[in-house]
Structure 1
Amino acid sequence: MAISLPVLSANAAEYTDLLDAADDFDDFDKDTYNPFDFNLEPSFQYDISSAKISREAPCVPNRADYAGQPGVMNNPRLVEGQGRCSTPEMVYNREMDYEYSQSTLNLALRAGLYKDLELRIDVPFVIGSSATLKYADGVDAANSSVDPSNDRVNADARNVFTRGNPNDVNLRELDGFSMYRYFDLANEGSTYERSGFADPTIGLAWAPFNDQRDDTKATLLIGMDYTMPIAPIKRADNDAVGQGQHMLHWKLASSRQFDWINPYFGLEYFLPLLASDSPMRKSYPGNQGQVIENAPMRGDITIGTEFIPFEDAETGARYAIDLRFTMGYVSEGRDYTPLFDHLANSQCNRKTLGDVMPQFDTNGNLTNPADVACAWIVQEPGNASPNAAYDLSTTSKSTPFQTDGLMTVEDYATFAGQLGVYLQPTEYFQIKALVALKHRQEHFLTNSRTGRDADDALEVTPDDTVDLTGPDAALERNPVYNATFDSSGNRFRVQEYNTWSFLVNAALQF
């Protein structure tokens, strides 16, 4: 027995829907003439994210087999045991749990300009965001490689440094020290909050084909948005939320309604261009070693279908359920990460080379373990202020070092699913409710290259290697490379990174 369904008037899916103006649908009927369309759309969105942050560690099946190799035996993060590795390899030790939440109020203004041409302006305000890092289960100051106890810092320093040595000797021994405290996890203060206006967006979208206007063709949408970096940029010394990027967003989408279903497809590309005051734009005259200087680009492919159980062309009433899946790719780039707020607010910021040099009492114990644990801050040339410090032996002992908290992030894929419900009782009012889950593929959060070899004609000592020390280091060493967390075996990696999003939107349609 066949079930007969009513044939509904064609209408674009929400993903491809545009407002129009000066539109008579070419029938010159005054009853259908639409001089303008204007929507005022307030919305509230709540995002909550969670992730696990691990760190690379060398693993050997049996420590005794490497007794003659101090580079292995002295590594404080060495993992031993057949249960973790059957051959020497890198493994990941879970270090921290990450939690993030954000509440955003957005006001969208949409206006039909002419026919199927729409102007849209979005003004978002972040009511509040909260980023938290804490020890993972089973991790504390006794075994953490992020926030170790002073006793562990003292023990490592006694093994590496010789009491009574001058600072120039201690500098040469610094590479053997590894018990760093990057930020505080043991005490309160591991949560950082931000709020304020985010960067607004203005965009144009045009539909050269519209299945409501011509039911022999699918709706085709072409759009471009521009996000303006006019909000205060988030930095270590503020609680702002601006990104400091001119974001260009292109969208190509199509939909076609068949009776009570409306499948759609879309391609999107996001290109960030750094603002003049972006912290990512930091550069050093003559240096050619920074391989990655830009924020990550992004591309998305979206497929979905709207199911329309009821639609009335005369009253404008329409109810729909939207199922959507998006697969994306995020390129390698300099970016804000789950570590950003904690590194940018680390107690190690503004430490000097003189501060982090070990000082011992008469019993051979450190008198400044909290300062020595911050020695990682001086291992990144770009942390020195006001100029990069490529040779610590010639750097003033009073030069302050401070990280901007940004990292070079490995490329990764994203996968997202969304369920939406659209309720439109009249042509003048609509309410939307959405829930979405986004998963980011695991990837390295600290992935800077050591640098880049320059042309021999520019080098003081021509060779085919990247010089990390000596006269060519300022030319070839990456100023944002920090061996303590960017080198292989020390990198941080994010895993099980998921974000739930909940959104409620109301549209007043004029």
Structure 2
Amino acid sequence: MRTRYQYFLGALLGASLFVGNPATAADFTNLLDAADDHDDLIEETYDPFDFNLETRVRMEFESATISRETACVPSDASLIGDAAQNNPRLIVDRGRCAEPRIISNKELDFSRQTTAIDIDLRAGIYKDLEFRLRVPYVFSSVAGMNYAAGVTAANSSVDPTDEVIGASARQFNSGDTQAQHVSNLSTFNGNRFFDVNGSEYERSGFADPSISLEWAPFNDERDDTKAKLLFGMAYKMPIAPVKAAGNKNVGEGMHELSWRIASSKRFNWIEPYFGLQYFLPFAATDSPIQRVDKNNQGQVFANPPQRGNITVGTEFIPHENTETGARYGIDLRFTFGYTSEGRNYTQLFDHMTNSSCNGKTLGDVLPQFDDQGQLSNLDDVACSWIVRQPSNADPVPIYNLGEALGDTSAWNTDGIMTVESYASFTGMLGVYLQPTKYFQLKGNVALTHNQEHFLSNARTGRDADDALESSPDDTVDLEGADATIEKNPVFNPTYDQTGNRFRIQENNIWSIFLTAALQF
């Protein structure tokens, strides 16, 4: 089936070499138009309709370091209590901390390589009004994970050895009751989240398509006393199969509306431009990004992040011949972006959803002992992190593990995390070659750097209205009757609690784009 897709996309790529329209404005503000010179009714110059079928091959290479918080004391672990002393990740090093505090340790090296193609159907409707349909297809997107430099299974807090897990599991006593074992989970830190070293997960297929409508009420080609001004609106449709555990899909299951305003002005051989863009996503019915429990008020964030971009740039045109259509351009662009806090897919998504811990029951992860009193299910106990997030329980969230003893619900993570807000910075170099009006080749190289931020940043919960509480107060109840309406169902203390959070650093994305078209 995948081969048939490739033949189909190859045919579209070939078709795009015979349809097009030469760009005369800066690429950032260029629109197809129609009904040009309609007013003078001169048949030789009348252009009733413009249509492009374009293909763009894109390759992305993403790299990042993922660190994790841990407690650090200069010399005496008793300074910060029993919980820290039971933590196998505790750092006792005066060189790392002069006083007790939380520090970050590098844990993982992340990489992702993506090869995709975008099919754009562009049509000029009337004057400077353009409609566009974009259909993306991802040939391959491979997410890989390795231990960071200096990290091995012997000192990893993501995929540790049995010895590390066993050291933390000493707090479980064979003579304790199951209720006591559940209580001890709150200080257990020997978790194994997923396989690390060299693990890779590949996705491919059609991504979510989008449609857009853009209009330029002012155009300096028609009136050189004015700058070109463009307004645009786009809608991304969540119709591609949604990515999740056990599949290779790339759809994200989100509607996304976006608006942009852009302006450019040609001055001899340079054309500076400026633009603002805003993205408003909201989850589709089959998206894993949802409010988990409608009766619960403790989920602080239930929606995906909103985004905004500010773009400035200049296109340089060293040569242009209006008679032959020859035109050569160099485009320098910088974009500042901001992403708000929200629930989202992260660099940990594929590895979390493919974790061997998915599908465990509470009974599976509680410690079991052999006749000699030795722990007999170490690998299962290492997965106990999965039962500490209420929303992981299927079919309904479980807020009190003590009351769930004997419950056979399977616990599964959807891999979605509450991501901290962050800024991004993108620089782009583009080269546009158009030897005649019938042929154009565009190449772009871009580097995006995302500011470091927490990948797991959910709150413990939120205080509900007093009228809904069994015992009205101004605190977030994590236990008792009010926990079911105030405890955040997507909070997992093993990676959302301060001292355990995952943080992404040195996150860079190289992007290469190549577009070719014959234009008539």
| Pairwise TM-score range, normalised by the shorter structure | over 0.9
Equivalent pair of 2:79/2:100 in contact (CA under 8 Å) = no
Q: Do residues 30 (structure 1) and 43 (structure 2) align?
A: yes
Q: Report the Cα offset of residue 75 of structure 1.
A: 2.2
Equivalent pair of 1:147/1:182 in contact (CA under 8 Å) = yes
Equivalent pair of 2:88/2:167 in contact (CA under 8 Å) = no
Match of residue 109, structure 1, among 105, 114, 121: 121
Q: Do residues 124 (structure 1) and 136 (structure 2) align?
A: yes
Q: Do residues 485 (structure 1) and 495 (structure 2) align?
A: yes
Deviations 1:367-386 (A, max 9, x none): 11100000000000000000
Provide the residue aligned with 1:428 in structure 2. Answer: 438
Equivalent pair of 2:86/2:168 in contact (CA under 8 Å) = no
Instruction: Report the 3-state secondary structure (helix = DSSP H, G, I; strand = E; otherwise coil) of the residue aligned with 2:44.
Output: helix
Map of 1:13-162 to 2, 5 A cutoff? Answer: 13-24=26-37, 26-63=39-76, 66=78, 69-158=81-170, 160-162=171-173
Instruction: Report the 3-state secondary structure (helix = DSSP H, G, I; strand = E; otherwise coil) of the residue aligned with 2:394.
Output: coil
Q: Distance in 1 between matches of 2:239 and 2:449?
A: 29
Map of 1:409-448 to 2, 5 A cutoff? Answer: 409-448=419-458
Provide the residue aligned with 2:9 in structure 1. Answer: none
Instruction: Report the 3-state secondary structure (helix = DSSP H, G, I; strand = E; otherwise coil) of the residue aligned with 1:15.
Output: coil
Q: Do residues 474 (structure 1) and 463 (structure 2) align?
A: no
Q: Distance in 1 between matches of 2:373 and 2:196?
A: 27
Greater shift, 307-316 or 326-335, is seen at 307-316
Q: Report the Cα offset of residue 88 of structure 1.
A: 2.0
Equivalent pair of 1:257/1:263 in contact (CA under 8 Å) = yes
Q: Distance in 2 between matches of 1:309 and 1:475?
A: 65
Q: Do residues 239 (structure 1) and 248 (structure 2) align?
A: yes
Q: Distance in 2 between matches of 1:104 and 1:424?
A: 24
Equivalent pair of 2:241/2:251 in contact (CA under 8 Å) = yes
Equivalent pair of 1:323/1:418 in contact (CA under 8 Å) = yes
Aligned letter for 1:259?
Answer: N
Q: Distance in 1 between matches of 2:270 and 2:45?
A: 25
Aligned letter for 1:59?
Answer: C
Q: Distance in 2 between matches of 1:444 and 1:138?
A: 22
Q: When the two structures are superposed, what TM-score results if normalisation uses the length of structure 1?
A: 0.95
Q: Report the Cα offset of residue 343 of structure 1.
A: 0.5
Q: Report the Cα offset of residue 174 of structure 1.
A: 1.5
Cα separation, partners in 2 of 1:428 and 1:25, compared to 1, 3 Å: farther
Cα separation, partners in 2 of 1:377 and 1:68, compared to 1, 3 Å: closer
Q: Aligned residue pairs: how many? A: 497
Cα separation, partners in 2 of 1:68 and 1:467, compared to 1, 3 Å: closer
User: Which residues of structure 1 form unaligned runs of 5+?
Assistant: 1-9
User: Which residues of structure 2 form unaligned runs of 5+?
Assistant: 1-22
Equivalent pair of 2:442/2:516 in contact (CA under 8 Å) = yes
Q: Distance in 2 between matches of 1:109 and 1:59?
A: 56
Cα separation, partners in 2 of 1:257 and 1:309, compared to 1, 3 Å: same
Equivalent pair of 1:182/1:343 in contact (CA under 8 Å) = yes
Map of 1:36-435 to 2, 5 A cutoff? Answer: 36-63=49-76, 66=78, 69-158=81-170, 160-186=171-197, 190-395=199-404, 396-435=406-445
Q: Report the Cα offset of residue 273 of structure 1.
A: 1.5
Q: Distance in 1 between matches of 2:227 and 2:340?
A: 32
Aligned letter for 2:183?
Answer: R
Equivalent pair of 1:12/1:210 in contact (CA under 8 Å) = no
Q: Do residues 501 (structure 1) and 511 (structure 2) align?
A: yes
Q: Report the Cα offset of residue 283 of structure 1.
A: 2.3
Q: Report the Cα offset of residue 140 of structure 1.
A: 1.2
Q: Report the Cα offset of residue 176 of structure 1.
A: 2.1
Deviations 1:238-262 (A, max 9, x none): 1100011111111100000100000
Equivalent pair of 2:291/2:299 in contact (CA under 8 Å) = no
Q: Report the Cα offset of residue 366 of structure 1.
A: 1.6
Q: Distance in 1 between matches of 2:142 and 2:66?
A: 17
Q: Distance in 2 between matches of 1:251 and 1:315?
A: 33
Q: Distance in 1 between matches of 2:206 and 2:415?
A: 21
Greater shift, 338-347 or 278-287, is seen at 278-287
Q: When the two structures are superposed, what TM-score results if normalisation uses the length of structure 2?
A: 0.93
Q: Report the Cα offset of residue 28 of structure 1.
A: 4.3
Instruction: Report the 3-state secondary structure (helix = DSSP H, G, I; strand = E; otherwise coil) of the residue aligned with 1:281.
Output: coil
Greater shift, 500-509 or 295-304, is seen at 500-509
Instruction: Report the 3-state secondary structure (helix = DSSP H, G, I; strand = E; otherwise coil) of the residue aligned with 1:170.
Output: helix
Instruction: Report the 3-state secondary structure (helix = DSSP H, G, I; strand = E; otherwise coil) of the residue aligned with 2:428.
Output: strand
Q: Distance in 2 between matches of 1:165 and 1:184?
A: 31
Aligned letter for 1:141?
Answer: A
Cα separation, partners in 2 of 1:333 and 1:69, compared to 1, 3 Å: closer
Greater shift, 17-26 or 53-62, is seen at 17-26
Q: Distance in 1 between matches of 2:99 and 2:323?
A: 72
Instruction: Report the 3-state secondary structure (helix = DSSP H, G, I; strand = E; otherwise coil) of the residue aligned with 2:494.
Output: helix
Q: Distance in 2 between matches of 1:251 and 1:365?
A: 63
Q: Report the Cα offset of residue 27 of structure 1.
A: 4.7
Equivalent pair of 2:88/2:164 in contact (CA under 8 Å) = no
Q: Distance in 1 between matches of 2:477 and 2:80?
A: 29
Instruction: Report the 3-state secondary structure (helix = DSSP H, G, I; strand = E; otherwise coil) of the residue aligned with 2:461.
Output: coil
Q: Distance in 2 between matches of 1:181 and 1:374?
A: 6
Greater shift, 75-84 or 208-217, is seen at 75-84
Q: Report the Cα offset of residue 427 of structure 1.
A: 2.0
Q: Distance in 1 between matches of 2:323 and 2:393?
A: 68
Instruction: Report the 3-state secondary structure (helix = DSSP H, G, I; strand = E; otherwise coil) of the residue aligned with 2:374.
Output: coil
Aligned letter for 2:188?
Answer: F
